[in-house]
Amino acid sequence: MIFVILSFAIAPMIYNQSEFNLRCEWGPQGVTELAPISDVVVIVDVLSFSTCVEIATNNGAIIFPYAYRDESAIDYAKSVQAELASHRQRWTTTGYSLSPKSVAEIPAGTRLVLPSPNGSFLTLLTGNTPTLAGCLRNCQAVAEFAQKYGDKIAVIPAGERWKEDGSLRPAFEDLIGAGAILSYLDGSLSPEAEVAVATFQAFRQDLLGYLKKCSSGKELIEKGFEPDVELSAAFNISNCVPLFKNNAYLNVEIF
């Protein structure tokens, strides 16, 4: 009986990469395993939550993540006195959405609820652990700011969800984004983190080309969102660091 109890106590430690300072794991379970034992969490959803948050907060907007795309989002937006982003529409239409292009000119001070089953959902799982939104655009700035919290850093590639059953689909663009951030961090890398860095290094010379060819990129282009892919592929052009605090992401320069 003692052996069984010990085995249950030890088993969860296998998956949390606790012997390494720099950790990387996918999706909701990755947050569940890594956030409680990390000094800071970085959520990476390149196409398109993290990119959208970076662009909007860089303009001075305040972004409230919300996990569900249903009528409850309307009530939540009212409760925080914010506008509600709509479902993604063709980029030529007006209104804010998960399309990075839709928030490119968002005015400073705009309060916007951004429903997302990936990036928003993961953000709201991190609990009391400081949380940042990272993408290719702000990878170095996010990495440098993350190390102000400590040396135990969890980078979470969001992935996508299969439409058929809602299960996790590991996404090329999020692995690349996670690797870009991890490449600027100092510390011991878990094997999972090393894979992310190696993947980023292998494709960094043509990020836009590969983002256009990956499954998520092709899906967006087919639906008319090629400008979003182009905005998301821009590498290390922003010093904006979106920090999640008081239920919203703001550029750290605003705090």
| Span 192-213, pLDDT tens digits | 999 999 999 999 999 999 999 9
d(Cα 255, Cα 243) in Å, to the nearest integer? 9
Per-residue confidence at 70, pLDDT binned at 50, 70, 90? confident
User: Pick the residue with more confidence: 91 or 147?
Assistant: 147
d(Cα 41, Cα 204) in Å, to the nearest integer? 23
**pLDDT tens digit string along 90-112?**
433 349 999 999 999 999 999 99
127, 36 contact by CB (below 8 A): yes
What's the mean pLDDT in 149-168?
94
**C-alpha pair distances (Å), 255 with each of 27, 76, 114:** 28, 23, 20
Residues 6+ apart with CB under 8 A from 111: 61, 62, 64, 80, 81, 82, 83, 248
Q: What is the pTM of this model?
A: 0.93
Single-letter residue type at 200: F
Identify the pLDDT of residue 45.
98
**pLDDT tens digit string along 214-255?**
999 999 999 999 999 999 999 999 999 999 999 999 999 877
Q: Which residues pair with 157 in a beta bridge?
A: 44
255, 249 contact by CB (below 8 A): no
Single-letter residue type at 93: T
d(Cα 202, Cα 220) in Å, to the nearest integer? 23
What's the mean pLDDT in 120-125?
98
Would you call the peptide bond into 48 cis, given omega within 30 degrees of 0 as the criterion?
Answer: yes
